[in-house]
Amino acid sequence: MVINSPRGTADIFGDDIICRNLIIEQAKKLFKLFNYSQIITPAFEHTEVFDRGIGQSTDIVKKEMYTFLDRKGRSLTLRPEGTAPVVRAIIEHKLYSKIPVKLFYIGNMFRYERPQKGRMREFWQLGVEAAGVDNPVIDAEVIWLLALIFETLGFKKLKLLVNSVGCADCRPPYINIFKGYIKPHLESLCSDCRERYDTNPLRIFDCKVPSCAKIISSSPKIYSNICSSCAKHFNTVTDLLKALNIPFVIKEELVRGFDYYTRTIFEIISEDLESVQNALGGGGRYDKLIEQFGGPPLPSIGFAVGIDRTIVLMKQLSVSLSKEDSQSNVFVILLERRFEKYGLEFLNYLRKCDIRSDISFEIKKVGAQIKLAKKNEFTHAAVIGEDEATSGNITVKKLADFTQNQFNWKKDPHKIYDILK
């Protein structure tokens, strides 16, 4: 019987793991520069955290959560996103004694969706949350950080979309205007959108069905219906982005799938990816969420980046992978079994020199071992036989052209760096 990994999950190895580590490494460097510290929250939470945090009318809560009862009958849910758990942790540990609270996370998330390239049921995200600041400067800073993550990875055809979804004062009246516009078209909408009309009308903006998109295109947009203080906030954000030389586009149809967003929302897309699945990351402001959770009033903002989709794009664009793999490395070949102890000593020396190295575990003909070394992407090989073990003079062969250099590793241990150059 062959057992496969469950649908929508993946083993991550080979090039994918190199890409993934590079993404995480670069992002962590930036998080440090921007003064964020890391938080790790559990992979599952009380279901209530997401019911309250994400909103019961969202697709995520209604259809996509992995919710189960534990052995004591408690309802738990594998996290479908990172913000609600971080908010729960901020309140639980009163992390708001220092404002702003700047946290980043890296973790696996779970949503029961139809799997496709770059969208899995278990997927990985990294993200930040900055809590306690109302000032639009932090909006600009958070967006700047998101853009930098992809810029550092060498992505070129990026587009940053921004919009404002208003606040508790201006959104409800807008929703009435919007519903008034949609009502006569209700019969022409898809069944999902007809349902959204009652539960979460703004989500109609996300519908990819052409007939819905056509109706939406001439609808009044929230952007033109926000109150003056939301407009002032948003104008400051865009002014600051201009000052930072960050190109952006105001996209009035942008809404994003969470109920908790207020004011600034943003998304970064790659024009190298297919349009349905082109969002690499995004986020927004959530000024009331922490209060709704029972915490103090802490206006906040954050974003999340889809690591899996970023890997897809890195591979598609052949973004150059980690440097360490292009560095020289040595495969140690033994001519006979009795040199194993000596071989391990030599291996220990190489590894202490920070040189990636390995040893042959089978004693075969030198030619066969050289083939094995090449297959495993070693750049150099060192053969150990009677003479080498007695004298300490080791010959290192460069596998690309078979040039060779001899050195005495005990007497002249630093010479290996010259040889591998």
Give the C-alpha separation, 195 to 9, whole Å.
30
Please, which residue, 102 or 233, has the CB nearer to Zn ion?
233
Q: How many residues bind Zn ion (CB under 5 A)?
A: 11
What would the x/- binding string for Zn ion be over residues 148 to 167, using CB under 5 A? ------------------xx
Choose which of 158, 190, 359, 372 interacts with Zn ion (CB under 5 A): 190
Choose which of 120, 128, 193, 313 interacts with Zn ion (CB under 5 A): 193
Give the C-alpha separation, 137 to 256, whole Å.
22
Give the C-alpha separation, 397 to 216, whole Å.
67
Please, which residue, 194 or 374, has the CB nearer to Zn ion?
194
Min dist. Cβ of residue 36 to Zn ion (A) = 28
DSSP string, 274-330: -GGG-EEEEEEEESSHHHHTTS----EEEEEEEHHHHHHHHHHTT----GGGGS-EE
Choose which of 24, 158, 227, 347 interacts with Zn ion (CB under 5 A): 227
Choose which of 131, 170, 216, 330 interacts with Zn ion (CB under 5 A): 170
* Rounded CA Rg of the chain: 28
Place of tokens 């946290």: 103
Other C-beta atoms within 10 Å of 192: how many?
Answer: 15
Min dist. Cβ of residue 224 to Zn ion (A) = 13
Give the C-alpha separation, 42 to 17, whole Å.
23
Please, which residue, 188 or 408, has the CB nearer to Zn ion?
188
175 binds Zn ion (CB under 5 A): no
Tokens of 19: 């890409």
216 binds Zn ion (CB under 5 A): no
The one segment of 212-220, 254-262, 293-301, 305-313 that binds Zn ion by CB under 5 A: 212-220
Is 81 within 8 Å of 54 (Cβ atoms)?
A: yes
The one segment of 36-44, 215-223, 225-233, 243-251 that binds Zn ion by CB under 5 A: 225-233
209 binds Zn ion (CB under 5 A): yes
The one segment of 43-51, 96-104, 191-199, 407-415 that binds Zn ion by CB under 5 A: 191-199
Q: How many alpha carbons lie under 13 Å from residue 294 in its C-beta half-sphere? A: 8
Min dist. Cβ of residue 276 to Zn ion (A) = 14
- What residues are paired with 129 via a beta bridge? 103, 302
Torsion (CA) 300, 128, 151, 235 in degrees, nearest 10: 0
Alpha helix positions (H), 121-182: 136-152, 171-182
Give the C-alpha separation, 326 to 284, whole Å.
39
Choose which of 126, 161, 165, 230 interacts with Zn ion (CB under 5 A): 230
Residue among 90, 86, 108 nearest 99 (CA): 90
The one segment of 45-53, 226-234, 328-336, 382-390 that binds Zn ion by CB under 5 A: 226-234
Min dist. Cβ of residue 282 to Zn ion (A) = 21
Place of tokens 């207020």: 262
Min dist. Cβ of residue 280 to Zn ion (A) = 24
The one segment of 58-66, 187-195, 333-341, 411-419 that binds Zn ion by CB under 5 A: 187-195
207 binds Zn ion (CB under 5 A): yes
What is the pairing mode between strands 279-286 and 249-250? unpaired
The one segment of 211-219, 329-337, 379-387, 413-421 that binds Zn ion by CB under 5 A: 211-219
- Binding residues vs Zn ion (CB under 5 A): 166-167, 169-170, 190, 193, 207, 209, 212, 227, 230
